[in-house]
Each structure stands twice: as C-alpha cells, then as structure tokens.
Amino acid sequence: MSKRKLRFALFGNIYQSRKSAATQKVLSWVSVYGAELYVDEEYYRFLTEDQRLDVLATRVLKNDDFDADFVISMGGDGTFLKAAARVGNKGIPILGVNMGRLGFLADVNPDDIEHTLRALHEGHYEVESRAVIEVNGHYALNDIAILKRDTASMISIRATIDGQLLNTYQADGLIISTPTGSTAYSLSNGGPIIVPGTNVLALTPVAPHSLNTRPIVIPDSGVIELDVESRSNSFLLAVDGRSMACQEGTKLVVTRAPYNIKVVKRPGQRYFNTLREKMMWGADAR
C-alpha cells in the first residue's frame, strides 16, 4: 500500500450538469484518503459555481504546468482526449471515468469509481502505452484529419511515405489514425479497427472521388508528407477534433511523436471485452 499522499489532477466535462454524483464520489474519496487534489480551473468553476459542490482543491490548474501521480478524466472519450493534450509528454497515467455511454478510453463506470481509486491507492492497476502522432507541432492521440472547408469542392491531397508517392487523394478529406483512434472518425469512414499496441497507422479517405481508393495501414515509423490543393485556397486541419484553418500550400508532415500517453486499466480489463460491448458484437435484436 502506498505510504505517501497521492496527487490527482482532475479534469472534466462542464456540459454534464446532471451527473455530479460521480464527481462527488471522487471528491469524497480524495478527502478520506488525504490525497492531494489539483483541479482544472474551468472544471473547478463549474463544480463550485454551477454544481455547488464543496471542492477542497490543493491547487487550481490555470495552465499545463503541473505534475501528478494520476490524472482523472470525468466525461467521455472527448474529455479524455482533452486531458491527454494537457498531459502531453509528462508521462502521467490517465484514468477515464465515463459519464455517458461506454467509451474506449473513458471506460470506468461511475459505479466503480471508489473501487478503482482504492485499487490505484494499493497499486493494483495496469498501464497501457498508447502511441501519439505529430503534425507540424500539434499532437494527437486519436487522429489527424485534413478536410475540405464547409461546402467547398473536394480537395486534392498528395501523400508520400518516406519520399515515395502513395496516392493523390481526390476526396473530402483524409484521416490519419493511430490504433487508439481507429474506432473513432476513421471507423465511421470505413477504416479498419486496429488493436492498440500495434505499431501502425491507418490512412482513410473521406468520401473519395474514386471508388477504388481504399484505406491503407502503414508502419508508424514512416514519415508522411501531405501537399493539399483546394479551390477555396484553404482547408481544415483537425487534430483530435480541434480544427484550424490552413492555407493552400502548407506542407504537412506527420510522424509518430517521441512520447506515448499512458492509460490506466484495472487488472483483468481487456480491450476485446470493451470492443465487443461498444460494437454490440453478438447482440441479437430479433
């Protein structure tokens, strides 16, 4: 059992106003065990002003200058991705508590919070290492997407891998996904499901003009260079859902990042169990 105070950094979804019971469990447990609690400033205001909760925070986090033993993400997979962006290369394991439907990243049920936190305190947990990708200084745990803007015509994306031409995609966009992100935007566009821990990336076109343009899986050790042409002279770059406008002619270089994100898992918790439940494989609606 741990002999020192654990330090938890708490991040959460400020739009789930009727689900504060789970957060109260976390706050109560932290208080009982005497752990230190750092709370993201925006989430702190939400909890204290909107939810009227008594939050005994050791520190309110105004920026990304923090350290902790664990990060707790209260929300869904989107909230987890935002927390991962704040963690960056700190190497802090992240525990995702799901406040809605079952997620792939946020997969701890609110009813299991106290049991899970007790397991962390006693050292009974596992950590999975998830690959991150980088594009021009921006980092993504799930995916990077190059997309046309609004109602503009399709864009042309010339993709090379380690200097070799792969394809020039005539499409609404192109998604470059990690194994973690393979069950997100890429999957909705016909991309493959990739098991975490496999050192590959998936390139999945969005509404390709040619029907024989298919997703492809490549080693994540390669350097992907993308040149984009657009009739609107601009396009969107989405990094884990955070979108920014780019001017035509901007060269995008995608590589695997020099760090991974650590995801906390309870002993016995397995990816394929979550996959079957999330995808409803084996469910019979008859």
So which residues are the catalytic ones?
77
For 276-279, the CB contacts below 8 A with 24+ separation are 277/102, 278/102, 278/103, 278/104, 278/183
On whether the CB atoms of residues 131 and 199 are closer than 8 A, the answer is yes
d(CA 117, CA 100): 19
d(CA 100, CA 19): 9
Of 124, 178, 168, 173, residue with least CA distance to 153? 173
Q: At what angle do helices 20-33 and 113-121 cross, to 10 degrees?
A: 30
On whether the CB atoms of residues 146 and 173 are closer than 8 A, the answer is yes
β 200-206/173-177 pair status: antiparallel
65 Cβ neighbours under 8 A, 6+ residues apart:
none
3-class state of residue 269 by DSSP: coil
d(CA 57, CA 50): 16
d(CA 37, CA 5): 10
